[in-house]
Amino acid sequence: MNCLIQGFAQEIAIGQWRDHLAYNQATCIAKADNLVYCIANGNLFSYNLTDNSINRATKVNGYSDIAAVKVAYNETAKAVVIAYANTNIDVLKGGKIINISDIKTKQIFGNKVINNIFMDQQYAYLSCGFGVVVLDLNKLEIKDTYNIGINGVSLDVKDFTTDGNYYFASTASGVFKGLKNDPFLSDFSAWTIEASLPNTQFNAIVFYNNQIYTNQVVGNNKGRIWRLNAGSTQWTWVDSIIDYKCLGMRVTDNKLMVMYQDAVALYQGNFELMDAKNFYPRRDPRDAIFFNNNFWIADFNNSMVKTEFQQGTYEI
């Protein structure tokens, strides 16, 4: 097994500033053209696939805040969205950093956090502790807010997706659904709970291969993945209760990625396992993407880890 460790050392000129921040505890990762963005210890850095260089994004070089929690790329708008722990937002677009502070500065009832970012067309759908905020990345403004809780109660939304006809939200109190072309999605009455699922915490939801997948949190260290076939109303188990946490799911390179507590797994088709990465030391994966036959893993102990499909070598 081979391991390559790359450092962050860079020479600077006299009189210039340099940050001294930690980058080992990685929690989120995203690809934007030839750059891989990663958040570690709340600090954002990018890895250039062309020349293998590393660039650190800090307030010193123009970013608006500290303690980043999520990063995602919108292909349609050619924009990178960075969400911070205080709900401030930076958008990287056209070589500029645009700050959108509306959520941060607005008085909001409910848990003021951003849990996840889902992209669809030119919009970023922010799963927040109080609902869903829709960010238009062409106009660079907040387009709408969905308060989906029953009777308008603020609801902690963990993840968000669409099958093209409906929006689906995994929340702390079950899975909710709203018609995508409904012009009144900001009204809680436009949303209904999926009654065939338990009214408990679901922390991830994606649309893959004409199916919706969502994970039910079971206790502190277990999960249960459910699936809904397109056109159906009946949810079924992919597995019975699994003896490890499912931390998240995403569609990457036309495949389904599932981040478990101790491994990252890649699936195709009807949830058919292609490969799982659980061999490198001190592993603690929190997020991952797949492209060019490689896994890129945000690991809480090892920073960013690259490992080839169906191979046992890795790079940190």
Confidence of residue 3 (pLDDT cuts 50, 70, 90): very low
| Two structure tokens written together for 186 | 């900001």
| Mean pLDDT confidence for 49-71 | 93
Taking only the tens place, the pLDDT of each residue in 251-298 is 999 999 999 989 999 999 999 999 999 999 999 999 999 999 999 999
pLDDT at 239: 78
User: pLDDT higher for 7 or 249?
Assistant: 249
How many angstroms separate the CA atoms of 153 and 134, rounded? Answer: 19
pLDDT at 231: 78
pTM attached to this predicted model: 0.92
SS3 of 32-83: the string is: ECCEEEEEECCEEEEEECCCCCEEEECHHHCCCCCCEEEEEEECCCCEEEEE
Buried b (16+ CB within 10 A) or exposed e, 41-56: ebbbbbbeeeeeebeb
Lookup result for tokens 């999605």 = 185
Mean pLDDT of the chain: 91
Neighbours of 196 (CB within 10 A): 12
Q: Give, in order, the Cα–Cα distances in Å from 302 to each of 41, 83, 280.
A: 11, 22, 9
The answer to whether 224 and 242 are in contact (CB under 8 A) is: yes
26-30, 37-41, 117-121, 226-230: which has the minimum mean pLDDT? 226-230
Taking only the tens place, the pLDDT of each residue in 134-189 is 999 999 999 999 999 988 889 999 999 999 999 999 999 999 999 999 999 999 99
The answer to whether 259 and 270 are in contact (CB under 8 A) is: no
Which residues make Cβ contacts (< 8 Å) with residue 28, sequence separation at least 6? 38, 39, 68, 69, 70, 71, 286, 287, 298
Lookup result for tokens 């994966």 = 285
